[in-house]
Structure 1
Amino acid sequence: MVNLEHGKYYVADINYVNYTIRVVDPGVEKGNCFSAPLYSLTREIFRSDKRAYFLNPHEATNTTVLMNCEQPISDGNYIPITPCNRSNVTSSSSQAYVYALVGGGDSLLVNDIKYSCTISRTIITQFLKPGNLSMSDLQEILLQGLDISFLPFRCKSECHVKGPYCDLDWTKNTVKWYSFGYWFSEYLESLRDRSTFSSNGVRERYNYYYHYETALYLGWIIRYI
């Protein structure tokens, strides 16, 4: 099992070519009713400075919410859910209706949630094209799991050996190394915008893992020359 922010997930597969781990929520089971995930899984987990794994920005995913509603919803985008264990998805007897809503992209808007509904889970899934989806469609994609990447760890470890100026190529799932001149020109370009000037900010934006903080201060001086 692998430990993410809110709990432990089953490891369904490890791909050492693409540097991915496929994780499955332990609450999801195959059946005629809907076994709800035990944990919420949001993008913020993979954006945190303390993150252990990453989402490939070039892999399409959906944000899906499970909701408890006080009234029936007549909206084709709302997927009626028959939970195996109602206590896992609702804490109120007045919220008798359970629905899932699959976002068309990375997120959902507040306006997408009906007034009588409250969110019980927010989860990231492999891509599903929204519209005309059934409970079994959602159950199947949850059973398949979610691919998360450990590619940046290769960059961090190999840069200690091959040099500090590296970048991630997410499209090919590889690490690229640059000369100091190329890296430094790209770095100076980032300094045109003051809002990007910070050690952590530049690293996050370009995925560089470097050791020479001298370059950071030198770039700051050069921008005013």
Structure 2
Amino acid sequence: MWRERALIVLVVLLHQIHGGDGCSPSSCGKVTNISYPFRLKGDPEGCGRYELSCENNITVLSLLSGTFHVEAINYNNFTIRLVDPGLQPTNCSSLPRYSLSPSNFTDLSLDALRPFGGFLYNFYPYYDEFLYEHIVFLNCSHGVSGNSKYVDTGGCVNWESKGYIYAMAVDDLLAKDLEVGCQVKQVTGTSWWGLETYEYSYATIHTALLYGFQLSWIPLACHDHCSGPYDCYFNSSSKKLQCQGMT
């Protein structure tokens, strides 16, 4: 009898670890369905691996060395959209508090213990799709002309330094994108796509930053769904996880 009871307890615990029995969705502000792999501070630890806080009715995620506002969680494609708290909707001079290096979330490792990545793995063997593009702020010793990538911040951004302040959107920051006499001051991200293909104003860049950037917890989802993170990919047609070797 004691073995049967122990087995029942084990099954219940396993369900809780994967967001099952005993774990009801939580909410905070605009984020109304916080569930596995997330849990709100104060929820049972077994209900989610990643803890979110509710501060002044705003959902907050601690990430790297900072905290970010959670704009949305998409459980269909395993992404979370974050906004830097330093940005203000009606203040074009507001800047992100945190500088995010392109390497912070673009490691191709599928380690399920690594919290978030900047890719969706669409097809085996893991065709990677960027979830965001980079916004780069530059301080140049001279005015830049003839390069449409360089967008004048129009006096909105001032680091109390001499020179000219520009912003540009790029998929990845390459040495060829840097004009002579320009230094990178800050790098951040946005999932407001298409900026690098059109001419746009700094007001558009600021709007894109306010939209935020997406990250994925695909490795953890694959680890839970299949035998391990390397045996799984995201089927962009069915919008479901697919285990290797299964249809």
Q: TM-score, normalised by structure 2?
A: 0.60
Give the corresponding residue for 1:21. 80
In the alignment, which of 153, 157, 161 is matched to residue 93 of structure 1?
Answer: 161
> Structure 1 residues 32, 60: closer, same or farther in 2, change over 3 A?
same
Give the corresponding residue for 1:79. 151
- Counterpart amino acid of 1:51? R
Give the corresponding residue for 2:43. none
Q: Number of aligned pairs? A: 170
Q: Deviations over 1:29-53 (max 9, x none)?
A: 1125232111122331124467311
In the alignment, which of 76, 83, 102 is matched to residue 43 of structure 1?
Answer: 102
| C-alpha contact (below 8 Å) 1:33/1:82 kept by paired residues | no
Query: More strand per residue: 1 or 2?
Result: 2
- Counterpart amino acid of 2:242? K
**Higher relative contact order (CA closer than 8 Å, sequence separation 6+):** 1
Distance in 1 separating the partners of 2:244 and 2:135: 39
SS in 2 for 1:132: coil
Q: TM-score, normalised by structure 1?
A: 0.65
> Structure 1 residues 111, 158: closer, same or farther in 2, change over 3 A?
closer
Q: Deviations over 1:115-138 (max 9, x none)?
A: 221101112222223231101110
Matched, 1:167 2:232: yes
Q: What's the CA shift for 1:173? A: 4.4
Query: Which residues of structure 1 form unaligned runs of 5+?
Result: 183-225
SS in 1 for 2:105: helix
| C-alpha contact (below 8 Å) 2:138/2:183 kept by paired residues | yes
Matched, 1:135 2:182: no
Query: Which residues of structure 2 form unaligned runs of 5+?
Result: 1-59, 121-127
Distance in 2 separating the partners of 1:120 and 1:108: 13
> Structure 1 residues 81, 178: closer, same or farther in 2, change over 3 A?
closer
| C-alpha contact (below 8 Å) 1:36/1:83 kept by paired residues | no
Q: What RMSD, in angstroms, separates the aligned Cα atoms of the two structures?
A: 2.5
Distance in 1 separating the partners of 2:91 and 2:61: 28
